[in-house]
Amino acid sequence: MEKRRLTYAGKNMVLMLMSCLSMWGIRPVEPLAQSRSIMLSSTLSIEQKINSYWALIEKELNADLSLAKTYLTEVNPLVKQLNRDITWGRYYQLMGIIADRSLNIEYALKSLITAAEYFQKSRKYTHQSKVYLDLGNIFQRQWNHQKALDYYHLGITTLQKQTAPNTPLLVKFYAHIGRCNLEMKSIFWPQKR
């Protein structure tokens, strides 16, 4: 019994250290993920494997979308096995971002809306707000400014539900609202020459 307790305490310490490192921008699981031995590793928990895949997918979003899609497919069985709302939310968020970058806008919108619903269930308001920012950006790029503004304002409202303020994300929302309003102004009120 004592050995099991020590093993559990040791795993908790490792997870705590990993979360501290990731708060500082250090990804301790990324080398393992890059070696493509995530699924084969028996020492990693399901959560650690999923976090390794998230790190890989985020890295490949700007480099190789097909590889990001492959990693998303590989992580699906782990997400099903863990079956937590926050994990499903992250899965659908990444799926939506990949679809958006692949110019599959309808699928991106469906995935991001599903992600927002999962984050709402798990009461992860910052994550939910980031999804609303992604949705607003999609509509802004399509010149549907009113719909974009609706999502930006929804993101701000959602962000205010959490106890600790997230000022950088709030600034992003206001910057996008400002840019959206400037674009609308240039459409409806052209400058006189």
- Chain segment 13-27, per-residue pLDDT in tens: 544 555 545 555 555
pLDDT (0 to 100) of residue 91: 95
pLDDT (0 to 100) of residue 182: 86
Q: Which residues contact 70 (CB under 8 A, 6 or more apart)?
A: none
pLDDT (0 to 100) of residue 63: 87
pLDDT (0 to 100) of residue 8: 45
pLDDT (0 to 100) of residue 7: 46
Its CATH architecture, for the domain 84-188, is Alpha Horseshoe (1.25)
pLDDT (0 to 100) of residue 158: 92
Domain boundaries, the chain: 84-188
pLDDT (0 to 100) of residue 73: 92
- For 27, the 3-state DSSP assignment is coil
Q: Which residues of the chain have pLDDT under 70?
A: 1-42, 186-193
pLDDT (0 to 100) of residue 166: 86
pLDDT (0 to 100) of residue 57: 92
pTM: 0.74
Closest by CA position to 160, among listed 148, 171, 170: 170
